């Protein structure tokens, strides 16, 4: 039980870092700055439903995807690390968000807020990797916990934005990108190490 709790907490922390809800707030604020309370409630509801739904889908289907394509877990770990590094570098080097005229929640919540800003390629890669390593119930619990944290950040994004300012949130978002880069390096090193050890055992 203790081992399962540690695994869940570890996965939850990594998923929160990759979801990076703080980094999505500056972009989200452009869409919702002049919204009525009813529309804001719809935005938050869509985020609260779609993020965990997508994460659970990839968590449940992940291991079968690897089996279907015959992908070695260490090779996938290395590829995932490279992909995560690309996500981190893109976030670090990206400019400010583009202004849009979309105002209906359905026009912007699913794309680009939920995906690719939140449940993007990095999150999907981690979920598939986790599903191949850990029991599926642990991955689902971690997905729900990280989704709940993401919802809470988005739900209180406006008071947070007013209190901290958009510049501070951008700095925090880029710091999370450094965390993602560190996780990516760890995945690559682990994959390479396991592959070398498998050659020695062959």
CA distance 183 to 195: 18
Residues 6+ apart with CB under 8 A from 160: 25, 153, 169
pLDDT score at 98: 45
pLDDT tens for each residue of 94-128: 654 444 444 578 778 888 889 878 998 789 889 99
Nearest Cα residue to 18 out of 192, 157, 185, 179: 179
Report pTM. Answer: 0.78
3-state secondary structure the chain: CHHHHHHHHHHHHHHHHHHCHHHHHHHHHHHHCCCCHHHHHHHHHHHHHHHHHHHHHHHHHHHHHHHHHCCCHHHHHHHHHHHHHHHHHHHHHCCCCCCCCCCCHHHHHHHHHHHHHHCCHHHHHHHHHHHHHCCHHHHHHHHHHHHHHHHHHHHCHHHHHHHHCHHHHHHHHHHHHHHHHHHHHHHHHHHHHHHHHHHHHC
CA 49 vs CA 46, 52, 56, 111, 192: distances in Å: 5, 6, 11, 14, 37
CA distance 170 to 198: 42
pLDDT tens for each residue of 150-172: 999 999 988 877 777 767 767 77
The rounded mean pLDDT for the chain is: 85
pLDDT score at 96: 45
Q: What ranges do the domains of the chain cover?
A: 2-201
Percent of the chain with pLDDT over 90: 36
């Amino acid at each position: 039980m203790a081992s399962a709790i540690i695994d869940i907490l570890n996965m939850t922390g990594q998923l929160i870092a990759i979801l990076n809800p703080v980094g999505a707030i500056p972009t989200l604020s452009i869409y919702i700055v002049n919204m009525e309370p009813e529309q804001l409630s719809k935005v938050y509801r869509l985020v609260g439903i779609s993020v965990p739904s997508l994460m659970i889908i990839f968590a449940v289907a992940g291991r079968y995807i690897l089996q279907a394509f015959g992908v070695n877990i260490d090779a996938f770990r290395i590829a995932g690390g490279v992909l995560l590094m690309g996500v981190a570098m893109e976030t670090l080097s990206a400019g400010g968000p583009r202004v849009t005229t979309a105002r209906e929640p359905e026009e912007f919540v699913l794309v680009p807020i939920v995906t690719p800003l939140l449940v993007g390629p990095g999150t999907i890669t981690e979920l598939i990797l986790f599903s191949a390593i850990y029991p599926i119930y642990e991955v689902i619990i971690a997905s729900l916990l990280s989704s709940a944290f993401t919802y809470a950040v988005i739900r209180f994004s406006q008071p947070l934005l007013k209190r901290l300012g958009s510049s501070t949130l951008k700095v925090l978002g880029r710091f999370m990108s450094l965390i993602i880069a560190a996780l990516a390096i760890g995945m690559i090193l682990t994959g390479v190490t396991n592959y070398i050890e498998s050659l020695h055992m062959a």
